[in-house]
């Protein structure tokens, strides 16, 4: 708890205007984009620089006050819900792109920079920052780093982790360390850069990052292929890869999602198709031309009922809307949208989608599935209502079976959303007790007082999705 | 120490034929490719499978016996020298390529697989495993993973870390954990896969790895550009990148190296050139053609005195020999070859080479510099004689200054060779006391008895390069 003395100390660090423990302020940051998790923090603080972050963390460490770093709160694992109270850290004053270094192909940023702002800023210089999470219009780079965010370009370009080459980190004891550098190669000690990417704020606070950039692809082409059966769509995905083509984007929507998207976006999608593949290739014009032609042939060979290659940028955007709008469209249906990201090896996508459909039927649920077919990262989504306890129980059971199936197929419980509090009870399925014990040992070593985003990643008990606080 | 009882227990696990504590056996594994480090292990053991590794580690953990996992011993940081005695683990029975999965583009291997054997096996299937350390003809994948090996293709393709997606690891307590999977995306818990890559055997033993493969580039072109001054070569490197071209290889040799290589390999290199760039591009034929032409133009613009594009595969191989032969050629000169890998941001390569030359003059040493200009990873090399104590002291001092300069320029003390025992005393230059303390906390958490390759990464005292044992 934050008593008057601690409050005074915090204000002496950041100033009155950057500390808020009003009811409204606390309520505002009591939840994130994840449905069904809510808990009040004791206060909200907005440090202006790394030194202030370090001073604040020292205070929190001394008094065992939970520290919850928060970007835009757009994560989907309850990762920024202050489930144990404490101080929510905002980065609204630490939101500068500090440098775009065209000689070394790097960008150095503060954690509060909006992802799309960075993407636009580097593209203006002919450079490319590939990670493009669905939330990129609002998400921050700091949040992306904490969650190791993915996106639609992951198949060809990898995820956030693959583009973080240096970090400034405030440790739980308040010391400030720097990892990596503007270096393609650095093996001086353990790879703390990657250990911290995806650590969900549980090991320290990232206060600055240097990101690797690549030259922007010269051109891009977009196409949509419709199928009368799921199997054929999945076989097409495998065939594309078997033909040694790695598309920039290789996305999948099932019929249930397709119907919802068409109803929402009215882009003329044929809702009688059983599956849709959205495919993009980028690179040198000759290569893109050749790849797209080859991909179109493969789709036709696998009995796609329609293959449409966008002729203009506007047309391409209309096609990608089909995929980008999926979550918004689904979120309109019911008060609560539960979206998961069970992930399997690419070769198991068809088996996983079939299993999801069987589980949906078993539990009498409407599960819409879309996602990144190219990297086996699926988003089975249930439009539901958190107030309907009976249905919520079925949702829980269904997702538990989905996670178990993903693991059985060589997959994981989360491909890009993170564990947070939401998937903590299922982590053992993936890592086993010994894997969790090893990770907990690292957590304890770097945060002995368990102040850094406590309650995340590691489950306290077998409790599943529940409403906390309110 | 290994007493009779422990010896019996070890033999009961692996069989008599797989344990050797003879003087000859111990001498054979008392050193690695790093000059000037030698220490006798208490024994050498060759487990046949993961379970045997786990059982052996349990014995070692119980009796606090150092565990030194060793591939080919080709590392250059003293990483596999058993400086505190104990058991050297060999992987000669665990050297199978278990699977090449063409649908998921992965290879699953045991640690003892020779790097080049893997590269050849996947290339036979039209796939590509890019990391190509200089020692790839003898080095093992297990060793590459422990050291996070780089190579000549790092600029475009990254290093070993970028291709490891799943590991089976025996922890210091003998438990067996699995990280990752055949998955492009996996954020279930901390990124232990990358934490273990490059951890130099100090956190556990890798007993199996799944590696990411990519389609093999359709074609490749090789060229050599000669310069009358170093500056012009460095400017060319920057200009190539500024033109949004990322070559597959962008290597540099200074005049001193050039002369030695020509004397050794007799490939007709003009030894009056002050600097040489070896450049390769791979990919689709149209793109390679265009890039190589553009690069040739840039070389000419920057006053290269000669630009030679290989017309045949044989010609290309002759050109790459100039670079690949550098270490062998240098090693002929004197009894001891000290090769380092200070690394700087690409934009600082010219400054770093100039500084190295000044330091060489200051300490009256012959330092030959070559390396990966594209990623700022340089290999300043001193042909010397370990028996010449006075000269060795100057070598020590020179390298300390080189490391300090690299850090000053935003670089690191080691780009791809690892810290081991050799660079442990300099690690603080890069990480600071607080960075080292954090890494040590992780080490202690995962290996409380400090049995896993003890004495590596973390310096015991300020002792620099010394001969241990013998």
**Model pLDDT for residues A281-325, shown as the tens digit of each residue:** 999 999 999 999 999 999 999 999 999 999 999 999 888 888 888
Helices A230-242, A285-301: axis angle to 10 degrees equals 140
Distance CA A104, CA A183 (A): 8
Q: Which residue has the tokens 């199936």?
A: A405
What is the rounded CA–CA span in Å between residue A468 and residue A452? 19
Q: Is the pLDDT assigned to residue A469 strictly greater than 60?
A: no
Q: How far apart are CA A116 and CA B272, in angstroms?
A: 51
Q: Average pLDDT for residues A385-400, to the nearest whole number?
A: 95
Pairing of strands A164-170, A87-89: unpaired
Of the candidate ranges A29-38, A361-370, B316-325, B347-356, the one whose mean pLDDT is the lowest: B316-325
Q: What is the mean pLDDT of residues B251-273?
A: 90
Q: Is B174 on the interface with A (CB under 8 A)?
A: no
pLDDT by residue (tens digit) across B62-121? Answer: 999 999 999 999 999 999 999 999 999 999 999 999 999 999 999 999 999 999 999 999
Of residues B441, B167, B431, B195, the one with CA closest to residue A199: B195
**DSSP calls for B169-216:** EE-TTS-EEEEE-S-S---SSS-HHHHHTTSTTSS-EEEEEEEE-EEP
Mapping DSSP to helix (H, G, I), strand (E, B) and coil, where does residue A335 land?
Answer: coil
Percent of chain B residues past pLDDT 90, beyond the cut: 91
Judge whether A214 is closer than 8 Å to chain B, CB to CB. Answer: yes
Torsion angle (degrees, nearest 10) of CA A24, A29, A34, A38 = -60
Is residue A464 over pLDDT 60?
no
- Express each pLDDT in A162-174 by its tens digit: 999 999 999 999 9
Query: B282 vs chain A: nearest CA distance in angstroms?
Result: 13
Decide if pLDDT at B453 tops 60.
yes
**C-alpha radius of gyration, chain B, whole number:** 22
Predicted pLDDT of residue B131: 97
Of the partner residues B414, B423, B434, the one whose CB lies closest to the CB of residue A175:
B434
Sign of CA dihedral B398, B400, B401, B405: positive
Min Cα separation B166/chain A (Å)? 11
pLDDT > 50? residue B178: yes
Name every chain B residue with its beta carbon within 8 A of the beta carbon of A410: 181-183
- Residue A461: the pLDDT is 56
- Over range A255-266, report the average pLDDT: 91
pLDDT tens per residue across span B310-341:
999 999 988 888 888 888 899 999 999 999 99
Distance from the Cα of A4 to chain B's closest Cα (Å) equals 32
**Is pLDDT at B388 greater than 70 in this prediction?**
yes
**How does residue A327 score in pLDDT terms, banded at 50, 70 and 90?**
confident
Q: What pLDDT digit, counting tens, does each position of A193-218 carry?
A: 999 999 999 999 999 999 999 999 99
Q: How far apart are CA A116 and CA A132, in angstroms?
A: 8
pLDDT at B1: 79
Question: What residues 419-448 of chain A have any CB closer than 8 A to a CB of chain B?
Answer: 419, 423, 427, 430-432, 434-439, 441-446
Name the nearest CA neighbour of B333 among B284, B382, B403, B296. B382
Q: Which residues of B touch A147 (CB under 8 A)?
A: 187
3-state secondary structure of A409: coil
Question: What pLDDT was estimated at residue A26?
Answer: 98
Q: Concatenate the DSSP letters of all residues of B80-148 into one string.
A: T--TT--EEEE-TTS--EEEEETTTTEEEE-TT-BHHHHHHHHHTTTEE-----TTTTT-BHHHHHHHT
For residue range B180-214, list pLDDT tens digits in order: 999 999 999 999 999 999 999 999 999 999 999 99
Q: What is the pLDDT of residue B460?
A: 78
Q: Which domains does chain A have, with CATH numbers?
A: 97-215 (3.30.465.10), 219-328 (3.30.70.3450), 333-417 (3.30.70.2740)
* Interface contact B412-A197, CB threshold 8 A: no
Query: Looking at residue A468, what is its pLDDT?
Result: 38
**Per-residue pLDDT at A328 exceeds 60:** yes
For B360-373, how does the pLDDT look when each residue is reduced to its tens digit (9 = 90+)? 999 999 999 999 99
What percentage of chain A has pLDDT greater than the value 90? 91
Residue A437, SS3 per DSSP: helix
Mean pLDDT of chain B: 94
Q: Kindly tell me if the per-residue pLDDT of B461 is higher than 80.
A: no
Report percent pLDDT > 70 for chain B: 98
Dump pLDDT digits (tens) for A18-37. Answer: 999 999 999 999 999 999 89
Question: pLDDT tens across A52-94, in order?
Answer: 999 999 999 999 999 999 999 999 999 999 999 999 999 999 9
Residues of chain A positioned with their CB less than 8 A from the CB of B439? 189-190, 192
pLDDT in the model for residue B321: 84
Q: What is the mean pLDDT of chain A?
A: 94
Q: From residue A146, how far is each of A22, A97, B79, B179 by CA, in Å?
A: 27, 18, 32, 19
Are B274 and B229 in contact by the 8 Å Cβ rule? The answer is yes
Q: Which of A41, A35, A163, A145 is nearest to A418 (CA)?
A: A145
Question: Residue B109 is encoded by which pair of tokens?
Answer: 């291997």
Give residue B304's pLDDT band: very low, low, confident or very high (50, 70, 90).
very high
B150 closest CA partner among A296, A151, A185, A386: A185
Distance between B271 CA and the closest CA of chain A, angstroms: 30
């Amino acid at each position: 708890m934050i008593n008057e003395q601690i409050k005074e100390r915090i204000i002496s660090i950041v100033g009155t205007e950057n500390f808020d423990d009003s009811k409204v302020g606390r309520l505002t940051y009591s939840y994130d984009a994840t449905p069904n998790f809510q808990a009040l923090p004791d206060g909200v603080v907005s440090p202006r620089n790394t030194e202030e972050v370090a001073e604040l963390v020292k205070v929190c460490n001394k008094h065992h006050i939970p520290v919850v770093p928060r970007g835009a709160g757009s994560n989907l694992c309850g990762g920024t819900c202050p489930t144990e109270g404490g101080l929510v850290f905002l980065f609204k004053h630490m939101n500068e792109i500090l440098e775009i270094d065209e000689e070394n192909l790097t960008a150095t940023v503060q954690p509060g920079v909006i992802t799309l702002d960075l993407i636009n800023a580097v593209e203006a210089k002919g450079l490319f920052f590939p990670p493009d999470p669905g939330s990129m219009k609002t998400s921050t780079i700091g949040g992306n780093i904490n969650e190791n965010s993915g996106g639609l370009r992951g198949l060809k370009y990898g995820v956030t982790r693959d583009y973080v080459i240096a970090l400034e980190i405030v440790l739980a004891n308040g010391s400030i360390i720097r990892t990596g550098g503007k270096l393609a190669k650095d093996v001086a000690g353990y790879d703390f850069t990657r250990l911290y990417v995806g650590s969900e704020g549980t090991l320290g606070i990232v206060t600055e990052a240097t990101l690797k950039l690549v030259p922007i692809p010269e051109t891009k082409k977009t196409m949509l292929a419709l199928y009368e059966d799921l199997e054929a769509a999945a076989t097409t995905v495998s065939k594309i890869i078997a033909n040694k083509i790695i598309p920039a984007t290789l996305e999948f929507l099932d019929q249930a999602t397709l119907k919802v998207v068409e109803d929402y976006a009215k882009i003329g999608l044929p809702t009688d198709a059983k599956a849709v593949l959205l495919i993009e290739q980028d690179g040198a014009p000759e290569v893109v031309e050749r790849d797209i032609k080859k991909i179109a042939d493969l789709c036709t060979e696998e009995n796609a009922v329609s293959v449409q290659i966008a002729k203009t940028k506007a047309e391409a955007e209309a096609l990608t809307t089909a995929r980008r709008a999926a979550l918004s469209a689904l979120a309109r249906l019911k008060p609560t949208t539960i979206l998961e990201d069970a992930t399997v090896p690419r070769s198991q996508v068809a088996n996983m989608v079939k299993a999801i459909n069987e589980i949906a039927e078993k539990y009498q649920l409407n599960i819409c599935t879309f996602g990144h077919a190219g990297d086996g990262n699926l988003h089975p989504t249930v439009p539901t209502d958190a107030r309907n306890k009976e249905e919520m129980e079925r949702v829980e059971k269904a997702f538990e079976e989905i996670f178990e199936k993903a693991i059985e197929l060589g997959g994981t419980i989360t491909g890009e959303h993170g564990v947070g509090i939401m998937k903590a009870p299922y982590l053992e399925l993936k890592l086993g007790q010994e894997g969790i014990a090893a990770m907990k040992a690292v957590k304890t070593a770097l945060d002995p007082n368990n102040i850094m985003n406590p309650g995340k990643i590691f489950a306290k008990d077998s409790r599943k999705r529940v409403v906390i606080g309110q």
